[in-house]
Amino acid sequence: MAEFTMELNDEQKEVRDWIHGFAADVVRPAAAEWDEREETPWPVIQEAAKIGLYSLDFYAQQFFDPTGLGIPMAMEELFWGDAGIALSIVGTGLAAVGVLANGTEEQIGTWVPQMYGDANDVKVAAFCSSEPDAGSDVAAMRTRAVYDEAKDEWVLNGTKTWATNGGIANVHVVVAVVDPDVGSKGHASFIVPPNTPGLSQGQKFKKHGIRASHTAEVVLENVRVPGHCLLGGKEKLDERLARAREKAKAGGERVKNAAMATFEASRPAVGAMAVGTARAAYEEALEYAKTRSQFGRPIIDNQGVAFQLADMRTQIDAARLLVWRASWMATTGKPFTSAEGSMSKLFASEVAKKVTAQAVQIFGGNGFTREYPVERMHRDAAIYTIFEGTSEIQRLVIARTLSGMPIR
């Protein structure tokens, strides 16, 4: 088991510097353009694919880092470059993780490569879980999957929303209800292969921030997928449903929702994204404060500015430490007895919003214009307290964990 450390080893530093170089040289120069265009930055994704940054192999290497710091380190550096472009690069990973977590070896080998394509023909994938009336409340999901035994096909109907890469993806991973009588235990995940009839893009959202990342509704109308597209297979699903029904008959015993457990483990990565955005805004504000003069001296000489920068840096470092602790715990198998995953995401996302707002304030009127990047960073930071569980949901998870109440 890897000992917890706050010092990256030489190999990690080399990877960090490599990602930072890509973020500085490729992502940052393109950030303002793709934010304005509100389109998927295909050329940037292709550049990432050419160097191996946009690939399953890269993320697998970071995921299996025994210290647990590979993923948060990579996320921080990419999102330091730009949150919208970074999310367009890592968004496919959401779908890939869904297959890796629930699929068979054959399903993983078949579908994950199709999610990424290659440097000459880049593809993206979408993970479709949220619905118009089922965001934080996963038990309210309405998208249904009905098994057609005669044809060995599943028929999917419903509408998904807030899907990163939704509608433009080569492969969609869709969560649907197969047995409504057992609540969230009656959910299953399905692969929808490329060009499957009945799947279409609904509304594409014009967002406040992360505008280079494509977010849209996905409409499913009598979408038929082969039986082998049920992640994990039907035998495994039937066994799981049988256990859920038995528990329901025995008095409705509440067990921790599997999706909630997965989210708890993935939340430190989102916290790392928030740390990256906060750090970028802080660095911009620090440099501006050292070079911007008012009343004959740099504004950093004023305590009102200097103390803000001191607080910003302190909060960023504290957020990173919470993220690293949770990431190390997840990798080394230590249980989140105090919801440490949610703690890291909650604190880092709130820090990102606060730090980017302070950066705008330090820039003054300039910070309110699109001529300076802190305006975009402030808009981007708003998403961190919303997706992967709102700050309110994080507090609920933490409070229920501390009190011993079930997380539903």
The reply to whether 142 and 201 lie within a common domain is yes
Whether 92 and 144 map to the same domain: the answer is: no
Contact, 68 vs 118, CB < 8 A? no
Mean pLDDT over 115-128 rounds to 95
Q: Which of 217, 284, 375, 388 is catalytic?
A: 388
Residues with Cβ within 8 Å of residue 179, at least 6 apart in sequence: 185, 186, 241, 244, 245
* Number of domains comprising the chain: 3
pLDDT score for 172: 97
- The first and second tokens of residue 327, run together, are 């990431």
Confidence of residue 258 (pLDDT cuts 50, 70, 90): very low
My answer on whether 282 and 324 are in the same domain is: yes
Report long-range pairs for 390-396 (Cβ below 8 Å, ≥24 apart).
Answer: 390/136, 391/346, 391/349, 391/350, 393/136, 394/267, 394/339, 394/342, 394/343, 394/345, 394/346, 395/346
Q: Which of 290-299, 349-358, 392-401 has the highest mean pLDDT?
A: 349-358
Confidence of residue 282 (pLDDT cuts 50, 70, 90): very high
pLDDT tens-place string over residues 328-372: 999 998 999 999 999 999 999 999 999 999 999 999 999 999 999
Instruction: Report the C-alpha gap between 156 and 226 in whole angstroms.
Output: 11
Distance, CA of 284 to CA of 288 (rounded, Å)? 6
Average pLDDT score over the chain: 92
Q: Which residue has the higher pLDDT, 181 or 265?
A: 181
pLDDT tier for residue 265 given thresholds of 50, 70 and 90 = low
| pLDDT the model gives residue 107 | 96
Of 213-222, 260-269, 278-287, the poorest mean pLDDT is in 260-269
Q: How far is CA 15 from the centre of its chain?
A: 21
Query: Residue 181's pLDDT is what?
Result: 84
Average pLDDT over residues 85-101: 93
User: pLDDT higher for 68 or 133?
Assistant: 68
pLDDT given for residue 7 in this prediction: 86
SS (H, E, C) 109-174: HHHHHHHHEECCEECCEEEECCECCECCCHHHCCCEEEEECCCCEEEEEEEEEEEECCCCCCEEEE
Helix (H/G/I), strand (E/B), else coil: 230: strand
Taking residues 239-243, what's their average pLDDT?
Answer: 88
pLDDT in the model for residue 45 = 97
Using one digit for the tens of pLDDT, what is the confidence trace for 135-181?
Answer: 666 667 899 999 999 999 999 999 999 999 999 999 999 999 999 88
What is the domain-level CATH number for residue 99? 1.10.540.10
Same domain, 274 and 368: yes
What is the model's pLDDT at position 185?
Answer: 84
Residue 1 included in any domain: no
Q: How far apart are CA 124 and CA 128, in angstroms?
A: 13
Question: Is 110's pLDDT higher than 60?
Answer: yes
Residues 210 and 267 in one domain: no
Asked which of 303-307, 374-378, 389-393 is least confident by mean pLDDT, the reply is 389-393
CA distance linking residue 106 with residue 233, whole number of Å: 11
What is the percentage of the chain residues whose pLDDT exceeds 70?
Answer: 93
Per-residue pLDDT averaged across 211-239, rounded? 95
What sign does the CA torsion over 252, 257, 258, 261 have? negative
pLDDT of 405 higher than 90:
no
Which pairs count as long-range contacts for 302-309, CB under 8 Å and 24+ apart, including other chains?
Answer: 305/362, 308/358, 308/361, 308/362, 309/282, 309/285, 309/362
* Helix (H/G/I), strand (E/B), else coil: 293: strand
Give yes or no for a contact between 194 and 171, defined as CB atoms under 8 angstroms apart: yes
Q: By C-alpha distance, which of 126, 51, 34 is closest to 85?
A: 34
Question: In which band, very low, low, confident or very high, does the pLDDT at 254 lie, cut at 50, 70 and 90?
Answer: very low
Q: Are residues 18 and 91 in the same domain?
A: yes
Which pTM value belongs to this model?
0.92
36 inside domain: yes
Residues 190-210 have a mean pLDDT of 97
On whether the CB atoms of residues 118 and 195 are closer than 8 A, the answer is no
129 and 118 share a domain? no
| Residue 232 domain-assigned (yes or no) | yes
Residue range of the domain that includes 151: 125-249
* pLDDT at residue 256, as a whole number: 44
Overall size of the chain counted in residues: 408
- Residues 298-308 have a mean pLDDT of 95
The fraction of the chain above a pLDDT of 90, given in percent, is 78
Looking at the domain assignment, is residue 51 inside a domain? yes
d(CA 18, CA 44): 16
Q: What pLDDT is attached to residue 263?
A: 58
Q: Do residues 104 and 35 both lie within one domain?
A: yes
Q: Is residue 408 part of a domain?
A: no
**Domain membership flag for residue 3:** no
Tell me if 351 is assigned to some domain: yes
388 in catalytic set: yes
Q: Of 122, 153, 186, which residue constitutes the final position of a domain? A: 122
Question: Are the C-beta atoms of 95 and 173 separated by less than 8 Å?
Answer: yes
Q: CB–CB of 375/209 below 8 Å?
A: no
Per-residue pLDDT for 408 more than 90?
Answer: no
